[in-house]
């Protein structure tokens, strides 16, 4: 099967006076696993349905393999979609559910049998062909929905929150199976989710949407390490944010006067030296917590703090810490025998300047 790219060029979509998608520009490479990530109402599912042909944009172009398919009806797009609720026919067997699309396309019987059998074997359900959907687990129903979609050999596979109805353990298992299947088929895949962990563990690249606008596009690691704005920083993982004013610039460093805390000296790119008000942002796992008075690593900027609360989360303990008049979160790796800091304990908080990102306040 030929791998194809998908491109959205300046796409806008409105319902009446409500603009749902605003100048969407996304280019998805052939064979790429691409995620659309965002909160409810961000426009991600609307964009996915637009690519499928169920929604129609008023402006822009939608290209598949370089051809504008904006006016092409859904049944002529050769795009497969797996819905959140699987949409299986309850009165049909697994075999008949998977064969349905081929029957509608009037595929010869011998070819139909061969393709249905191959699709069921691909998702590990060859032994379940005679069962009905209500006799299957949630994960098995998900595999039937996938088999029914891939059996028609679509150029593009669309996944609309396909794991949201599964429990956590099964979601982890299914996203691994989903990624392995996509790699095996090499099919261009677009995956909609509001779960940043799902997006980051499966996608080659992803776009974060909010209010119908692409906030940032890139690899999961790039978005996590170098968020372009406060929304992306907060939505992709957890972020500490300390706002303040730039008080001094010296070569590649600035001194940020953090509200209620004091001065932080931070390295920045000379070409993007900020001025005025901005926010120092850093991830909880980059923060070090030591007992008050301990001699800290010179790589860190150390500030006095007080433990407000803690949560034991197994692999790590999450602390809420007051520094000055501000509060931040620190994640400390847990191992057997390590004692926790109690609420009210005085501590030294280490911030690694190399892990701080300066964002618009």
What CA–CA distance (Å, rounded) separates 27 from 2? 17
Average pLDDT, the chain: 91
CATH annotation of 240-360: 2.40.50.140
φ, ψ dihedrals at 40, nearest 5°: -60, 135
What CA–CA distance (Å, rounded) separates 229 from 233? 6
Residue 200 pLDDT? 93
- Classify residue 102 by burial, with Cβ atoms within 10 Å: 0-12, 13-18, 19+: buried
Mean pLDDT of 242-268: 86
What CA–CA distance (Å, rounded) separates 51 from 41? 17
- Residue 197's Cβ-side half-sphere holds a number of Cα atoms within 13 Å equal to 8
Residue 134 pLDDT exceeds 80 = yes
Residue 269 pLDDT exceeds 70 = no
47 within 8 A of 37, measured Cβ to Cβ:
no
- Render pLDDT for 25-63 as a digit per residue (tens, 0 to 9): 999 999 999 999 999 999 999 999 999 999 999 999 999
Mean pLDDT of 218-226: 95
- Residue 258's Cβ-side half-sphere holds a number of Cα atoms within 13 Å equal to 20
C-alpha closest to that of 132 among 101, 96, 99, 163:
96
pTM of the model: 0.89
What are the Cα distances from residue 222, in Å, to 200, 204, 232, 236? 10, 11, 11, 11
Termini Cα distance of the chain: 48
Residue 165 pLDDT exceeds 80 = no
The tokens for 104 are: 């509608």
- Radius of gyration over every alpha carbon of the chain, rounded to an integer in angstroms: 25
* pLDDT tier for residue 138 given thresholds of 50, 70 and 90: confident
151 within 8 A of 102, measured Cβ to Cβ:
yes
Per-position DSSP letters for 192-259, written without gaps between them: EES-HHHHHHH-SEEEEEETTEEEEEE-HHHHHHS-SSHHHHHHSS--EEEEEEEEEEETTEEEEEET
159 within 8 A of 181, measured Cβ to Cβ:
no
Strands lying side by side in the sheet with 357-360? 262-267, 253-258, 240-250, 277-282, 357-360
* Per-domain boundaries in the chain: 6-234, 240-360
CA 324 to the chain's CA centroid: 34
Lowest mean pLDDT among 80-84, 211-215, 345-349: 80-84
What CA–CA distance (Å, rounded) separates 145 from 150? 9
Mean pLDDT of 208-231: 95
What CA–CA distance (Å, rounded) separates 264 from 95? 64
Instruction: Classify domain 6-234 at the CATH class level.
Output: alpha beta
287 within 8 A of 331, measured Cβ to Cβ:
yes
52 within 8 A of 59, measured Cβ to Cβ:
no
Residue 85 pLDDT? 77
- Render pLDDT for 3-27 as a digit per residue (tens, 0 to 9): 999 999 999 999 999 999 999 999 9
136 within 8 A of 124, measured Cβ to Cβ:
no
């Amino acid at each position: 099967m030929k791998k194809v790219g998908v491109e959205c060029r300046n796409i806008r979509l409105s319902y009446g006076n409500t603009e749902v998608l605003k100048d969407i520009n996304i280019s998805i490479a052939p064979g790429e696993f691409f995620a659309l990530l965002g909160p409810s109402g961000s426009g991600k599912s609307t964009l996915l349905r637009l690519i499928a042909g169920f929604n129609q944009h008023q402006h822009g172009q939608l290209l598949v393999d370089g051809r504008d398919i904006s006016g092409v009806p859904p049944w002529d797009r050769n795009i497969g979609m797996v819905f959140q609720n699987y949409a299986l026919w309850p009165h049909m067997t697994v075999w008949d559910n998977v064969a349905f699309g081929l029957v509608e396309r009037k595929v010869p019987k011998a070819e139909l049998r061969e393709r249905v059998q191959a699709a069921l074997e691909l998702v590990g359900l060859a032994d379940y062909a005679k069962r009905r959907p209500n006799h299957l687990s949630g994960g098995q129903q998900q595999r039937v929905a996938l088999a029914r979609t891939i059996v028609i050999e679509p150029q593009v596979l669309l996944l609309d929150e396909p794991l949201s109805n599964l429990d956590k353990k099964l979601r982890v298992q299914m996203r691994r199976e989903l990624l392995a299947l996509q790699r095996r088929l090499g099919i261009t895949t677009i995956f909609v989710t509001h779960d940043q962990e799902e997006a980051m563990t499966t996608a080659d690249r992803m776009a974060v949407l909010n209010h119908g606008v692409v906030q940032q596009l890139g690899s999961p690691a790039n978005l996590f390490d170098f968020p372009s704005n406060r929304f992306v920083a907060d939505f992709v993982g957890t972020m500490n944010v300390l706002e303040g004013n730039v008080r001094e610039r010296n070569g590649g460093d600035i001194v940020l006067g953090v509200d209620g805390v004091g001065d932080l000296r931070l390295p920045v790119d000379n070409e993007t030296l900020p001025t005025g008000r901005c926010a120092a942002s850093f991830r909880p796992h980059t923060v070090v917590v030591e007992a008050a008075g301990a001699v800290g690593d010179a790589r860190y900027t150390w500030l006095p703090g007080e433990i407000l609360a803690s949560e034991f989360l197994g692999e790590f303990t999450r602390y809420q810490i007051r520094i000055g008049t501000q509060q931040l979160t620190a994640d400390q790796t847990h191992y057997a025998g390590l004692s926790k800091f109690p609420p009210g304990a005085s501590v030294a908080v280490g911030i690694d300047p190399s892990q701080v990102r300066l964002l618009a306040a």
